Structure 1
Amino acid sequence: MAKYNVENENVEIELERLFKVEPALLYQAWTDQRFLKQWFMTSERTNKLIHVEPKQGGEYKIVDVYKGKQNIITGQYQTLTPFEYIVMTVSMPEYSDSEDQINVEIFEREPGITQMVFNYNAYVPKERRLTTLEYKQKKKEYHDSTAHGFETLFDKLQVVLEDFENNM
């Protein structure tokens, strides 16, 4: 269940997920473009470009075209602790000037079962025309749709990891 915060101009989302893989493979799914192009804001069918520098300070860029619409996703890996922790930014320049932050904690619950704790923090500016209630509603809608979007991505990630494990 995603947690929700309406006290500031940021929307914070926390999601937890268990995967039937080793921590190293889940970490690789966040840092290796062969995996990323299959699930992270793109798919092999719609991906037109992916470039990933999986190092601290390294940047990534994804160009996805779906139904004739091009989406560009960019970001930077700020912290990489192999098989345990990732801090990265994510932005979509054609929609917003802001960069959101993603924190991913990875740890083994038991052999072959890895828990991922995902935190997402996005800035949602308050428009002057909105009342406090309208702004809180806007943030709640943003939170709910974004949390749902990430849950869908993680469903896709689970399939990608299962397919990889089954084809080893």
Structure 2
Amino acid sequence: MENTSTTLTMTRRFDVTAEKVFDAWLNPEMMKKWFFTMEPTNKVTKNDPRVGGSWEIVDHREGKDYRAIGEYIEVDPPSKLVFTFKMPQFSDMEDRISVEIKPVENGCEMTFTQIIVIPHEEGWTEGDIEKAHNEYSSQTEQGWYYMFLGLKQLVETGKVKYPS
């Protein structure tokens, strides 16, 4: 099996300081409200936000635990985070995520980039590989879209409205 990768980049604007958004990425009490989990379903939120430190989230949905883990590569408050991401129950593959936050008028802008590792089977055609790239990118973007809605609510209002 070979692997390839695709890059997903998303930009979001927040009506709060860069420090507040940066803190939401690192503070375990904030992370458990939006980062790969929701507070009502969160079982574990651990974070050691330093170069070489690790993070872990365990979310419990529909009778199953979903574990996301990673390691910090770069931590430069309040402007940049680079870390790895993987979900060991699904794969040994590890994505790389970069979060850059810069002040703008009346708030900040966050640019999120994920290098998504995509497995493909031997014998796949270029069309099969392209389809896998599109599916992984689309599904990943949809997941982050909802997480970033929660992040925006959290940093701007102090709480997240979860779907019923």
TM-score after normalising by structure 1: 0.89
CA root-mean-square deviation: 1.3
Match of 2:31 in 1: 36
Q: Per the alignment, in what secondary structure is the counterpart of residue 39 of structure 2?
A: coil
1:164, CA displacement in angstroms?
2.1
1:133 aligns with 2:127: yes
Counterpart residue identity of residue 65, structure 2: Q
- Percent identity reads 32
Q: CA deviation at 1:76?
A: 0.9
Aligned equivalent of 1:149, options 143, 152, 158: 143
- Match of 1:99, as an amino acid? E
Q: Which amino acid aligns with 1:131?
A: T
Contact 2:69 2:87 in 1 (8 A): yes
- Counterpart of 1:117 (choices 111, 116, 120) is 111
Equivalent position to 2:83, from 72, 88, 98: 88
Residues 14 and 156 of structure 2 are in contact (CA less than 8 Å); yes or no, is this contact kept in structure 1?
no
Aligned partner of residue 124 in structure 1, secondary structure: strand
Alpha-carbon contact 2:116-2:137 (below 8 Å) kept: no
Cα offsets for 1:74-109 (capped at 9, x unmatched):
101110001000001111000010111100000001
Per-residue Cα deviation, 1:27-84 (whole angstroms, up to 9, x for no partner): 0011111111000000110001111111121101111101111101110111000100
- Offset of residue 158 of structure 1: 0.7
Give TM-score, length-normalised by structure 2: 0.92
* Long gaps (5+) in structure 1: 1-7
How many Å separate the matches in 2 of 1:44 and 1:152? 14
Alignment of 1:152-163 (within 5 A): 152-163=146-157
SS at match of 1:65: strand
Q: Determine which of 72, 80, 98 is the counterpart of 1:77.
A: 72
SS of the aligned residue for 1:45 comes to helix
1:11-90 matches, within 5 Å, as: 11-90=6-85
Ranges in structure 2 where 5+ consecutive residues have no aligned partner: 160-164
What does the per-residue CA deviation read over 1:112-163, in whole Å, with 9 as the maximum and x for residues that have no partner? 3100000000111221142110111111111111111111110111111122
User: Could you tell me how far apart the structure 2 residues matched to 1:11 and 1:28 are?
Assistant: 28
CA contact (8 A) 2:16 2:107 kept: yes
Identify the range of structure 1 (31-40 vs 121-130) with the bigger mean alpha-carbon deviation: 121-130
